[in-house]
Amino acid sequence: MRAKAASLWLLLWMLAVGCQALTSVDCQAATQNHSGSAGAPVKMHRLAKADLSPPSRLVPVNAQPALPDSLRGIIRRVALPAGDKRLALTFDLCERAVHVTGFDAALVDVLRKENARATFFAGGKWMRSHPEATMSLMADPRFELGNHTWTHANLAVMQGQKRIDQVLWTNAQAELLREELDARRVKAGKQALGPKPLTLLRLPYGRGGAEAVAAINGLGLAVIQWDVVGEGGGGSVAARAKAIAEAVRPGSIVLLHANQVPKDTAALVRALLPLLRQRGYATATVSELLQAGAPETVDDGYFSVPGDNRIYDNRFEDNGTGGRAKAGATSGKQ
Ligand SMILES: [Zn+2]
CATH number where 206 lies: 3.20.20.370
Please tell me the distance between residue 25's alpha carbon and the centre of ligand 1 in angstroms: 23
Flag whether pLDDT at 42 surpasses 90: no
Residue 64 in any domain: the answer is no
Dist CA 252 CA 193 (whole Å): 29
pLDDT, residue 39, reads: 53
Please tell me the distance between residue 204's alpha carbon and the centre of ligand 1 in angstroms: 5
Is residue 311 very low, low, confident or very high in pLDDT (cuts 50, 70, 90)?
confident
Q: What is the dihedral of CA 178, 181, 187, 193, to 10 degrees?
A: -60
**Which amino acid is it at 231?**
E
pLDDT, residue 261, reads: 85
- On average, the pLDDT of the chain sits at 86
Please tell me the distance between residue 274's alpha carbon and the centre of ligand 1 in angstroms: 26
Q: Which residue has the higher pLDDT, 184 or 45?
A: 184
Range with the poorest average pLDDT among 74-78, 242-246, 297-301: 297-301
Please tell me the distance between residue 260's alpha carbon and the centre of ligand 1 in angstroms: 12
pLDDT, residue 209, reads: 85
Residue 296 in any domain: the answer is yes
Dist CA 329 CA 315 (whole Å): 8
Residue 2 in any domain: the answer is no
> What is the per-residue pLDDT across 263-279, written as a single tens digit (0 to 9) for each?
899 999 999 999 999 99
Residue 50 in any domain: the answer is no
Q: How many domains does the chain have?
A: 1
Please tell me the distance between residue 185's alpha carbon and the centre of ligand 1 in angstroms: 30
Flag whether pLDDT at 36 surpasses 50: no
What's the per-residue H, E or C state across the chain?
A: CHHHHHHHHHHHHHHHHHHHHCCHHHHHHHCCCCCCCCCCCCCCEECCCCCCCCCCCCCCCCCCCCCCHHHCCEEEEEECCCCCCEEEEEEEECCCCCEECCCCHHHHHHHHHCCCCEEEEECHHHHHHCHHHHHHHHHCCCEEEEECCCCCCCCCCCCHHHHHHHHHHHHHHHHHHHHHHHHHHHHCCCCCCCCCCCCEECCHHHCCCHHHHHHHHHCCCEEECCCEECCCCCCCHHHHHHHHHHHCCCCCEEEEECCCCCCCHHHHHHHHHHHHHHCCCEECCHHHHHHHCEEEEECCCCCCCCCCCHHHHCCECHHHCCCECCCCCCCCCC
Please tell me the distance between residue 81's alpha carbon and the centre of ligand 1 in angstroms: 30
Please tell me the distance between residue 215's alpha carbon and the centre of ligand 1 in angstroms: 19
Please tell me the distance between residue 83's alpha carbon and the centre of ligand 1 in angstroms: 32
Please tell me the distance between residue 40's alpha carbon and the centre of ligand 1 in angstroms: 22
Please tell me the distance between residue 316's alpha carbon and the centre of ligand 1 in angstroms: 14
Please tell me the distance between residue 132's alpha carbon and the centre of ligand 1 in angstroms: 20
Q: Which residue has the higher pLDDT, 43 or 249?
A: 249
Please tell me the distance between residue 124's alpha carbon and the centre of ligand 1 in angstroms: 11
Q: What is the dihedral of CA 290, 295, 300, 304, to 10 degrees?
A: -90
Residue 19 in any domain: the answer is no
Please tell me the distance between residue 305's alpha carbon and the centre of ligand 1 in angstroms: 18
Please tell me the distance between residue 186's alpha carbon and the centre of ligand 1 in angstroms: 33
Flag whether pLDDT at 19 surpasses 50: no
Q: Which residue has the higher pLDDT, 107 or 19?
A: 107
Please tell me the distance between residue 167's alpha carbon and the centre of ligand 1 in angstroms: 14
> What is the per-residue pLDDT across 58-90, written as a single tens digit (0 to 9) for each?
999 999 999 999 999 999 999 999 999 999 999
Dist CA 92 CA 2 (whole Å): 26
Please tell me the distance between residue 205's alpha carbon and the centre of ligand 1 in angstroms: 6
Dist CA 298 CA 304 (whole Å): 13
Residue 128 in any domain: the answer is yes
* Cα→Cα distances 129→87, 94, 97, 135, 164, Å: 30, 11, 11, 12, 21
Residue 253 in any domain: the answer is yes
Please tell me the distance between residue 96's alpha carbon and the centre of ligand 1 in angstroms: 9
Please tell me the distance between residue 208's alpha carbon and the centre of ligand 1 in angstroms: 13
Q: Which residue has the higher pLDDT, 15 or 59?
A: 59
Please tell me the distance between residue 92's alpha carbon and the centre of ligand 1 in angstroms: 5
> What is the per-residue pLDDT across 192-214, written as a single tens digit (0 to 9) for each?
999 999 999 999 999 988 999 99
Please tell me the distance between residue 115's alpha carbon and the centre of ligand 1 in angstroms: 25
Flag whether pLDDT at 31 surpasses 80: no
Please tell me the distance between residue 91's alpha carbon and the centre of ligand 1 in angstroms: 9
Cis peptide before 262 (omega within 30 of 0): yes
Please tell me the distance between residue 93's alpha carbon and the centre of ligand 1 in angstroms: 6
Contact 310, 3 (CB under 8 A): no
The residue segments making up the domain with residue 291 are 69-320
Please tell me the distance between residue 42's alpha carbon and the centre of ligand 1 in angstroms: 18
Residue 31 in any domain: the answer is no
